[in-house]
């Protein structure tokens, strides 16, 4: 039955073997087969099953928080003003450097656990709050360790160009050279990242600087994400597409040429409505144009202390509908199938035989409920890597 564009199986059963989906089909047939093979079954009493959710853009590992800047903004300061005055990302860098490995891991696990409770089984975690080689490697190591503490598979991203460290303000070129050379080599040697990312923005790095780093990463076989068009259009979407990026993220500001380039390259557009909401932006991404061009759209939390203190992917789905006008179906594809594509992963995000047995189960009547409610959590459990966990 195809009542939803996503595909829907009523009264269905799913068989799992060795951490993979072995079979999907009618429940009666599945139960008969299970009985004849004497394998255990679990009755989910009419719950909906979806692929385990995928949060494909987070900055989960950081020290401190930025509630004070939240207050400053409410008293009239802008995000850019705070950043230029040495606050913003740099203040989190200072707090992160001053936090022990154990405390950083504990805080990141706490955030990730909230995602897990909402059916998330894969999360992408970026570095970017270290800004020295040692600190960036430390954050990537801690990000990897989060996956050992929870039923969660973690993809790590080396966000090498996030902010220019305050101590190198006069040496931009040297910093970009180092990050694109020795730092990338160390990340590769220690196998700490699956991809790279850069903040291509007027308050961060230029397209030329971003391109130098991205080229170096591609030459080493890493995947690419870009923070593109969050505050202004510097042509980062085209840059991402030109280098075969898995995703271009934010995209409040992107023109037709950028959209066409992404469509041609298959680069996924990652919508981050919690950041848009927090910054009270008034220029949403051109969702209708992205849809028309056939660009796949994903939805993620962007969990970070500055612009998206958000550990609810369901809330991000709601915001994607209400603020950006995605349909509930698009948001569900955006946290499953298209989020997997945004991470370069072909083994998950869809319920199909042979794929990873990562599933989420929901006490809902129809899938639209997942993005309809604010603050509800209808997840009753997940299967991650073939193992059941109730929430």
Cβ within 8 Å of residue 86, ≥6 positions away: 166
Among 90-98, 99-107, 182-190, 300-308, which window interacts with Fe ion (CB under 5 A)? Answer: 300-308
Based on the shown chain and the rule CB under 6 A, indicate whether residue 304 belongs to the binding site for ligand DI6: yes
Which of 251, 273, 268 has its CA nearest to residue 320? 273
Report DSSP letters for 10-76, one per residue. TTEEEEEETTEEEEEEEHHHHHHHHHHHT------TT-EEEEPEEE-------SS--HHHHHHHHTT
Q: Which does 349 bind (CB under 5 to 8 A by kind): Fe ion, ligand DI6, none?
A: none
92 touches ligand DI6 (CB under 6 A): yes
> C-beta of 91: minimal distance to ligand DI6 in Å?
8
Binding-residue pattern over the window 142 to 171 for ligand DI6, x denoting contact by CB under 6 A:
--------------------x---------
Task: Give the nearer residue to Fe ion in terms of CB position, either 205 or 361.
Answer: 205
Question: Do the strands 48-51 and 359-362 form a parallel or antiparallel pair, or are they unpaired?
Answer: antiparallel
Q: How far apart are CA 388 and CA 334, in angstroms?
A: 24
Report residue 162 as tokens: 């996030």
Q: Which does 199 bind (CB under 5 to 8 A by kind): ligand DI6, Fe ion, none?
A: ligand DI6
Among 58, 238, 307, 336, binds ligand DI6 (CB under 6 A): 307
Q: Which residues contact 107 (CB under 8 A, 6 or more apart)?
A: 61, 62, 63, 99
The entry of Fe ion, ligand DI6, none near residue 307 (CB within 5 to 8 angstroms by kind) is: ligand DI6
Q: Taking CB under 6 A as the criterion, which residues in 208-227 touch ligand DI6?
A: 227
Nearest residue to ligand DI6, scored by beta-carbon proximity: 306
136 touches Fe ion by CB under 5 A: no
Distance CA 10, CA 1 (A): 8
For helices 133-149 and 89-97, the axis angle rounded to 10 degrees is: 80
The C-alpha R_g of the chain, in whole angstroms, comes to: 21
Q: Crossing angle for the helix pair 101-117 and 133-149, nearest 10 degrees?
A: 40
Taking contact as CB under 6 A, which single stretch among the options 30-38, 42-50, 164-172, 302-310 is the one that binds ligand DI6?
302-310
Identified binder of Fe ion from the candidate list 302, 303, 316, 338, rule CB under 5 A: 302
Question: What's the closest the beta carbon of residue 128 comes to ligand DI6, in angstroms?
Answer: 7
Q: Candidates 15, 54, 60, 89: give the one binding ligand DI6 (CB under 6 A).
A: 89
List interacting residues with ligand DI6 (CB under 6 A).
88-89, 92, 162, 199, 227, 230, 275, 302, 304-307
């Amino acid at each position: 039955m195809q009542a939803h564009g996503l595909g829907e199986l009523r009264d269905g059963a799913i068989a799992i073997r060795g951490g993979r989906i072995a079979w999907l089909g009618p429940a009666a047939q599945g139960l008969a087969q299970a009985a004849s093979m004497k394998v255990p079954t679990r009755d989910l009493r009419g719950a909906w099953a979806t692929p385990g959710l995928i949060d494909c853009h987070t900055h989960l590992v950081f020290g401190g928080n930025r509630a004070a800047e939240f207050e400053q903004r409410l008293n009239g300061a802008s995000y850019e003003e705070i950043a230029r005055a040495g606050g913003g990302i740099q203040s989190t860098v200072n707090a992160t450097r001053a936090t022990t490995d154990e405390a950083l891991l504990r805080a990141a696990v706490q955030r990730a656990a909230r995602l897990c409770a909402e059916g998330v089984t894969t999360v992408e975690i970026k570095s970017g709050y270290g800004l020295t080689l040692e600190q960036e490697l430390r954050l990537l190591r801690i990000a990897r360790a989060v996956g050992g503490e929870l039923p969660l598979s973690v993809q790590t991203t080396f966000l090498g160009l996030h902010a220019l460290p305050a101590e190198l303000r006069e040496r931009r070129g040297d910093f970009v050279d180092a990050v694109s050379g020795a730092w990338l080599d160390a990340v590769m040697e220690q196998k700490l990242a699956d991809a790279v990312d850069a903040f291509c923005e007027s308050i961060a790095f230029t397209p030329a600087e971003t391109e130098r780093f991205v080229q170096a990463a591609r030459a080493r076989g890493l995947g690419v994400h870009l923070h593109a068009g969050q505050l202004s259009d510097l042509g980062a979407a085209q840059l991402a597409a030109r280098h075969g990026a898995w995703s271009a993220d934010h995209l409040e500001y992107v023109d037709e040429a950028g959209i066409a380039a992404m469509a041609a390259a298959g680069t996924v557009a990652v919508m981050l409505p919690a950041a848009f909401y927090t910054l009270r932006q008034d220029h949403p991404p051109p969702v209708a144009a992205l849809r028309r061009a056939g660009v796949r759209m994903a939805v993620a939390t962007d969990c970070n202390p500055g612009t998206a203190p958000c550990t609810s992917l369901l809330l991000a789905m709601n915001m994607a509908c209400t603020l950006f006008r995605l349909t509930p179906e698009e948001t569900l594809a955006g946290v499953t199938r298209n989020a997997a594509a945004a991470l370069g992963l072909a083994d998950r995000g869809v319920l199909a035989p042979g794929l990873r047995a990562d599933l989420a189960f929901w006490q809902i009547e129809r899938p639209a409920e997942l993005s309809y409610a604010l603050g509800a959590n209808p997840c009753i459990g997940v299967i991650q890597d073939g193992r059941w966990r109730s929430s």
